[in-house]
Amino acid sequence: MSVHPSSIVAPGAVVPDSCTVGPFCTIGPEVVLGENCNLISHVVVDGRTRIGARNTIYPFSSIGVPPQDLKYRGEPTETVIGDDNTIRENVTISRGTVGGGGITRLGSNCLLMTCAHIGHDSVVGDHCIMANAATLAGHVIIEDYVTLGAFCPVHQHCIVGKYAFIGGGTIVTQDVLPFSLTSSKRENRAFGINKVGLQRRGFSPERLQTLQKAFRLLLAAKLNTSQALEKLKVLESDDVALLVNFLERSERGVIK
């Protein structure tokens, strides 16, 4: 393997020969790296951390570090990261806590921009983008294909549904509807479907039309959520079924 002489790889760490570890990195004894990972420089990876293949981690990032939770007492909790992620400068990912299930997870094919933070026991899906300084408090769930804008904090126990796009500076304190374009001017509000993002993901005009109809019922028909749900269930669409399921399992309420 290529390890710069200024870096410290603890005995017990698993670092394949295909990995590159740049200057001034620290890798703890319970860390397992996948093939072809690149730690550019000044990266700290600690705790029971498993990182998949082909991840690139930029300077001053800290992965698997103890959670920012005063209840944490050094229990052997974990951090699990998938494949093909780009983790930019100053990103922090905290390991889990016993009270939250014990594992913090990041999926595959994600981009975490500078100063993004994934708090303890959070779960981030695949193909997600967290822009600069987007932050997840503990116990947050980010589903697949979500884009979280710059300087967006997400409150504990919130869920952000699949394909949602959240505008920069939006403070998220309730669940965010899948497929939605949600942003904050004076107050948080869902403005409809994330049309451009869905088109880029290959959604057909018919799928978009059905979703637009569903969102009109939910956001513009002057129905409460229970009334809108009854009308949504009539629409025969897998996408709408996903939306209905999200609404029915939401515990914090949704941004409408």
Q: Tokens 């505008």 label which residue?
A: 167
Predicted pLDDT at 72: 95
CATH superfamily of 2-142: Hexapeptide repeat proteins (2.160.10.10)
Q: Residue 152: count other Cβ atoms within 10 Å of its Cβ.
A: 26
Predicted pLDDT at 238: 94
Q: Tokens 């690139």 label which residue?
A: 56
Active-site hit among 120, 167, 175, 239: 120
Under CATH, which number does the domain 198-249 receive? 1.20.1180.10
Mean pLDDT for each consecutive 10-residue tract of the chain (256 residues)?
Answer: 94 97 98 98 98 98 97 96 98 97 97 98 98 97 97 96 95 94 74 90 94 90 86 91 92 82
pLDDT in tens, 227-251: 889 989 988 899 999 999 999 999 8
Encoded tokens for 97: 């806590």
Q: What is the pTM of this model?
A: 0.89
Concerning whether 121 is annotated as a catalytic residue, the answer is: yes
Three-class DSSP category at 182 = strand
Active-site hit among 46, 83, 121, 175: 121
Predicted pLDDT at 188: 66
- Among 123, 116, 87, which Cα is nearest to 102's? 123
Predicted pLDDT at 185: 62
Distance CA 35, CA 55 (A): 9
Radius of gyration of the chain (CA): 20
Predicted pLDDT at 223: 84
- Give the 3-state DSSP-derived string for 202-226, with helices as H, strands as E and coil as C: CCCHHHHHHHHHHHHHHHCCCCCHH
Q: Are 168 and 152 in contact (CB under 8 A)?
A: yes
In one-letter notation, the amino acid at residue 135 is T
- The b-or-e profile of 99-109 (16+ CB within 10 A means b, else e) is ebebbbbbbbb
Three-class DSSP category at 29 = coil
Concerning whether 138 is annotated as a catalytic residue, the answer is: yes
Task: Identify the bridge partners of residue 94 per DSSP, sorted by sequence position.
Answer: 65
Predicted pLDDT at 254: 85
- Among 140, 125, 131, 13, which Cα is nearest to 64's? 13
Sheet of strand 32-33, all strands in order from the earlier edge strand to the far edge: 32-33, 48-51, 78-81, 103-106, 123-124, 141-142, 159-160
Concerning whether 74 is annotated as a catalytic residue, the answer is: no
Active-site hit among 28, 52, 138, 167: 138
Name the segment(s) of the chain with CATH classification 1.20.1180.10.
198-249
Name the segment(s) of the chain with CATH classification 2.160.10.10.
2-142
In one-letter notation, the amino acid at residue 161 is G
